Structure 1
Amino acid sequence: MTFLPTPRELSPAPSLRWGLLGPGGIAASFVDAAHRHSQQRFVNVASGSSPERAAAFAQAHGVTRSSATYDEVLADPEVDAVYIATTHDSHAKLALLAIAAGKHVLVEKPITVTRAEAEQVVEAARAAKVFAMEAMWTRYLPQSDVLRQILERGDIGEVRLVSADFGFPMPFDASHRLWAPGQAGGALLDAGVYPVSFVSSVLGAPTSIHTVGTLAPTGVDEQATVTLAYEKAQGVAFTSLRSASPTRATVIGSEGRIDVEGPFLAPSALSVTLGPGFPASAQSARFSGANGPQGSAALFYEADAAARYIGEGRLESPVHPLDEVVSVVGILEDARKQLGAL
């Protein structure tokens, strides 16, 4: 049996000075991970609703200073790149403002709510020759590089099925952003982007999309299963705000399979099973705990990846190209339309 590859060596990432728009929960995890495990440094932060909130965030998370408005962060000459961590509905507007200010941008997933918005952001970044990347941290985990190497080597033969899931129970509250249509709520945009992006990372853009699911009383999607068709394979992505799922991912090929233990979107474990009939014996490796950072601490991989690419003069991520980001946003938009969530 072929031995599992190890994560490829990466060149050191240059230290960049980051600005932050949107001091919320994911921003706190990202900044803490970057400061603790990398040379990336956040030097300015702003909130869209409260200068006091930004100041409190800066003090709590070691950000050099805070600003009263987003525009002040974007005008700061000491900011090299901007991390946008606001609610989904404001991603496109803020990304365009940052790009217009000549800043490199890292935008939380999903990069925008619609395909048209994503195309606009990508076109603006390319025209301005600034780096743009969606903050899909899963792509930059060591286990993801090992999975890519297995696929590149052809160990499991021709891929036939890719499946992934991410669901969690969220108490219904019509005022919460996840349940609010005015804030681009729903399971697909918040959680479903992970399994859809995983399928896309292996199979690319589908030839057709079929979605079944249910809507919440507010009209947003609360649960969905998205089936993606390809010439010789299928992809299945499940998401829910009503129930917890295993959060696993599987790639099945003609000569074996790859299983990513839950939660597949964070550092976990990977196993590969090869041979006729897929024998029970498998090779596996763990990428968390004693073998690597756990949970949100691994967000630093994404921060360093963005800085490395910027330092290399790239305008997009080679493992998560912007055209693919647009495609995934389009899949999510089509799925929501099929459910009547738009």
Structure 2
Amino acid sequence: MRIIRWGILGTGRIARKFASDLRLAENCVLIAIGSRSQQSADEFNKEFPVQYCHYSYEELAQNPEVDVIYIATPHNLHYENTLLCLQHNKAVLCEKPFAMNSRQAVEMINMAKEKKLFLMEAMWTKFHPHYIKTIEMIKQGLLGEIKSVLVNFGFKPIPPIPARLFDPALGGGTVMDIGIYNIFIAMSVLGKPDHIEATMTPASTGVDEQCAVLFRYKNGALAQLFSTFSSNLATEADISGTDGRIRLTSRFYEPSSNIEFYNGRPDSKELIAVHKEEGFGYQYEARHVNDCLRNGLTESNVVSFADTLLMMEVLDKVRNIAAIHYPADEV
């Protein structure tokens, strides 16, 4: 079995969680880390010892021993970091949001296609057992015809507040940081919306501190999606149909979430059992990438290029309607 050799670009919180979970994935190894700060790289290396500790992103991308690079930098850097890795013939797993807008996403995907390299957006929820089971139950018709999706995701940042949450140059605001999960769940169940409404409460920096999104569908279905940095919300998802309802408990986008199934009667709650592994939940997508690389694939059949481009298209529309603009949009 071929051992897949990973590198991680970026040394923040998510990079550390991914590195921890990579130990739970089979037949792969983290061999390299890349950071623009020597101190940050060295601190990461103490926690997760690697064979190669690089003090620049370029050095990591040029390392011939690395098979695939996980990009864990702030939103605004995904585009340039992905292109850098692809230019050096590295497969890439890029954290979400995949890019700042559709234009960037198209360029990233086109380069991967031209160079015949694997590229995937790290939509980790799509690989979690609770999500897979939820979609399976819906496809089995246990909910009947889906009529509504209600999703909320909110938390009040604790000081010191990361700059990326509110800085427009870093893709700040709720929609790109957490609202993307709400949109993902809604489109997983109902598909591309036929009509979008969106409104936001601006932070002092101009990005959205809160955002309310409404998807309308020709069959009458509605999705109500709310994200906020102003208060702590339940962070749950309700999917309701003519014959039943599924409630994904807090946090609906993580593997720790539970599935509550209601078959149409108020007192009918049933807890649906799914296998839960240790770890944060990043090992599932890592295993998938490992399998794709071993099989010579350049595109995932779970998170396809079409899936990513549709997500970026809808995010662009939501931001445009809600008047959420970034410097990257002006290029």
TM-score with structure 1 setting the length: 0.88
**Map 1:119-268 → 2, pairs under 5 A:** 119-170=106-157, 176-232=163-219, 233-267=221-255, 268=257
What is the aligned partner in structure 2 of residue 58 from structure 1?
45
Go from structure 1 to structure 2 and tell me whether the alpha carbon gap of 1:15 and 1:144 turns closer, same or farther (over 3 Å shift). farther
CA positional deviation for 1:173: 7.5
**C-alpha distance in 2, partners of 1:14/1:259?**
40
Quick check: 2:25–2:286 contact (8 Å CA) kept in 1?
no
Deviations 1:21-68 (Å, cap 9, x if unpaired)? 1111100011011124544321111112x1232122122112222112
**Map 1:1-342 → 2, pairs under 5 A:** 15-48=3-36, 50-170=37-157, 176-232=163-219, 233-267=221-255, 268-274=257-263, 277-287=264-274, 291-293=275-277, 297-342=280-325
**C-alpha distance in 2, partners of 1:285/1:63?**
40
Q: Aligned letter for 1:341?
A: I
SS across alignment from 2:65: coil
**C-alpha distance in 1, partners of 2:261/2:295?**
33
CA positional deviation for 1:327: 1.6
Q: Aligned letter for 2:93?
A: L
Gaps of 5+ in 2: 326-331
Quick check: 1:174–1:218 contact (8 Å CA) kept in 2?
no
**C-alpha distance in 2, partners of 1:165/1:286?**
23
Go from structure 1 to structure 2 and tell me whether the alpha carbon gap of 1:180 and 1:116 turns closer, same or farther (over 3 Å shift). same
Q: Aligned letter for 1:248?
A: E
**C-alpha distance in 2, partners of 1:129/1:20?**
21
SS across alignment from 1:79: coil
Q: Aligned letter for 1:100?
A: Q
Quick check: 1:205–1:324 contact (8 Å CA) kept in 2?
no
After superposition, the CA RMSD in angstroms is 2.0
- Percent identity between matched residues is 31
SS across alignment from 1:30: helix
**C-alpha distance in 2, partners of 1:334/1:211?**
9
**C-alpha distance in 2, partners of 1:162/1:205?**
13
Go from structure 1 to structure 2 and tell me whether the alpha carbon gap of 1:319 and 1:151 turns closer, same or farther (over 3 Å shift). farther
Quick check: 1:14–1:39 contact (8 Å CA) kept in 2?
yes
Go from structure 1 to structure 2 and tell me whether the alpha carbon gap of 1:312 and 1:203 turns closer, same or farther (over 3 Å shift). farther
Go from structure 1 to structure 2 and tell me whether the alpha carbon gap of 1:58 and 1:144 turns closer, same or farther (over 3 Å shift). same
After TM superposition, the runs of 4+ consecutive aligned structure 1 residues lying more than 6 A away are 172-175
Q: Aligned letter for 1:292?
A: K
What is the aligned partner in structure 1 of residue 328 from structure 2?
none
CA positional deviation for 1:69: 1.6
Deviations 1:294-335 (Å, cap 9, x if unpaired)? 5x5221112112212222333233232221222222222222
Deviates more, 1:222-231 or 1:121-130: 121-130
Quick check: 1:257–1:278 contact (8 Å CA) kept in 2?
no
Deviates more, 1:219-228 or 1:326-335: 326-335
Deviations 1:117-174 (Å, cap 9, x if unpaired)? 1121122222222121111211111111111211222221221112222111025879
Quick check: 1:255–1:278 contact (8 Å CA) kept in 2?
no
Deviates more, 1:138-147 or 1:158-167: 158-167
Quick check: 1:162–1:236 contact (8 Å CA) kept in 2?
yes
Quick check: 1:160–1:234 contact (8 Å CA) kept in 2?
yes
**C-alpha distance in 1, partners of 2:148/2:240?**
5
**C-alpha distance in 2, partners of 1:14/1:279?**
51
Quick check: 1:18–1:43 contact (8 Å CA) kept in 2?
yes
Quick check: 2:261–2:272 contact (8 Å CA) kept in 1?
no
Gaps of 5+ in 1: 1-12
Aligned length: 323
Quick check: 1:248–1:263 contact (8 Å CA) kept in 2?
yes
Deviations 1:243-282 (Å, cap 9, x if unpaired)? 11111112111221221111111122112222xx445213
TM-score with structure 2 setting the length: 0.91
**C-alpha distance in 2, partners of 1:122/1:240?**
31
